[in-house]
Homo-oligomer: A and B are copies of this chain.
Amino acid sequence: MTVSFSELKETLKKVLLQLSFPQNKAEICADIFASNSRDGVHSHGLNRFPVFVDLVKKGLIDPMAEPECVEQNGLLEVWDGHLGAGTYNSSICMDRAIELAKKNSMSCVAIRNNNHWMRGGTYGWQAAEAGCIGICFTNASAGMPPWGGKEPRLGNNPLVIAVPHHEGHIVLDMAMSQFSYGKMQEYELKGRSLPFSGGYDREGNLSTDPVAIKQTKRALPAGFWKGSGLAMMMDILLAMLSGGRTTAKITASGNEYGLSQCFICIYKENLHQDLVDEIIAYTKTAIPVEAGTEIAYPGEQTLKRRIQSEKEGIIVDETMWKKVLSL
């Protein structure tokens, strides 16, 4: 079934207001959750909303908390999220990074004691929409073993790089495992194998079976040692800049809350859009592996899905929709 963007957003907003979120915060949070579903990222949109509500009810997300700048070092600011809504705090931080970059060409805002920001791409699109290059990343609880190890010690810490582009922004939103557990579950529910190895089975062999991987908790880092190293660097950068909780501490706490994020912005008047066009056009001239398909730039599919959702409504899981309506 499908619902319109405004119906989805208003429904979520109503729940947030009932949970004592102030009006402006309910507006921003509902908009982000609804936009994530609109862009096809259901796992961080409607489908994640009940988990978010649950964390609010448990007292792990404080609806009243406002993020606060606690350190200023030139264009590098450290903020404290005071365990407020991760999506709201993150959008405030990216707004601040945009503001600083527009005045000074660049900026970095790091936040600690924040909560899950849902889809990282959200803040990349936000920067690009404002005409800035945006780079942002988060940490998370351990869900992936480091390269050479068997037990989860790394967060699936996504990296987002976004640039403004006159024909649709270019937004890379990249988690560090080859397949997220959410994606693997989709394959599991359809009874299908992964198209490539996504982790290890009990015998320690690379596997395309999502069930076997879930059992071992040995999700495969993208590019093996490369995704593993990059995930570790994200956590290190966040700890260094924000002074917040590391993946070690988040994992030990038993709940995925109190995370850190970093928002880097770069602004420059002439961002050479003609050269970006050149890169995209050149990349698309490669003969496709499957005839009739086209090579996509990062974010291209997201934009297509967004346009489709706006025309035809947002596809929602009926059970999940009913669940949220009853909240």
Contacts and interface: CB of A to CB of B under 8 A. Distances in A.
A241 B275 CA distance: 10
A48 interface: no
A239 interface: yes
Nearest to A244: B275
Nearest to A273: B240
A20 to B, nearest CB: 33
A285 B239 contact: no
Interface in A282-297: 282-283, 285-290, 293-297
Number of chain copies forming the complex: 2
Interface stretch (A49-57, A72-80, A185-193): A72-80
A272 interface: yes
Interface residues of A, number: 75
Contacts of A288: 148-150
Given A104-B74, A229-B172, A268-B76, A279 B223 contact: no
A237 B287 contact: no
Contacts of A295: 146-149, 153
5 contacts: A76-B105, A172-B233, A222-B222, A243-B272, A247-B282
